[in-house]
Structure 1
């Protein structure tokens, strides 16, 4: 019986880990819920934590996404390789590339955003698969070679590209700091939205609702998994203990 209870206690401890992790990761969602979007005009003349919505624009320059060559303000690209076989197969990340540049957030006014260090949540703009035995398109092949990946034709691969492009709607939750900005259309302002001292720095394409939904998916899933495991163990104890 003691061994049985010990195993059950260890099971409860293990089940509490995803619950605790989910609650911890839910903090950004709570902070955004407690906040209301601020006008950029107010943010430009203040400091501290702000929540802003607007349209992304070019500050100084753009970066080109590796797979499509699209000029953008931020990108996240991944190449995943299919490993294993049958029911034991899964996707393993083989290449992961990201890049960001400072950009201008425009609405009633304009303010510079330095996205370095932000928890970015961008929609998938391009997605495709390359079957094993096929030669990937040249941009994908170039990325694989640059990262010294195995034979590009050996396995099935899945590629994804997420981008923040000029003109797209964007939601930002971060810290406003007073500092000089680059020589851009926003150079008249010395306020920058950045990681700073804010407890949360989140950048999402879309509006506040999009930010809340995307930030909540993983923690809520972990919380439900933890609760389900704990309840299952308690029911098992009540029946068989």
Structure 2
């Protein structure tokens, strides 16, 4: 495998202005991929991510928009396809995780979370899959999460959405594997994202390696799944959690 195995390919990463999404963008660019960067509102953060992509010698496109809204996803998808022709690597990363007691929720609370994560994954996958099928190659990688799979306390919508993404991943793996397209999920454990304390002894005690992961650790798993080296990995969920029990 060359050191730029994704040269000529394009990745779309939802929620890639900061944290894990930004790290994924930088690492995929390092393997030669062009990157479509998405954020809901913070354009400067997306510009900063674009700078990391350009430093790797590849192209970027910033497409701002709310992944929870169908009309905005349609515009985002059109802009990406108009610029690059096809999206070869789709990373469904955008999510929101508000906490609220289940009996205090109304349908707007539910749809805010589910639409941003699960329904957005459905919409972007439908938008970009035809090009992958035409090429006979593609990678669909979706983020789940340990607490999402176990069950968030006062977080029913995100747990439901992330379980749904895992089901969608397995269905896509079965249906589109024959077309040269793999679908997998990555489940991050406790990760040092912005504003998170990485020294809390109670949190560290539950992680066998003794430290929280960095966004780059999660991105490394995504990058592997996006690469040609992962061609026989399909319909799987990779935990990046330092050995923490799930």
Place the TM-score, normalised by the shorter chain, in its bin: under 0.3
Bigger CA radius of gyration: 1
Bigger share in helix: 2
Q: Comparing both chains, which one has the higher relative contact order based on Cα–Cα distances under 8 Å and sequence gaps of 6 or more?
A: 1
TM-score with structure 1 setting the length: 0.22
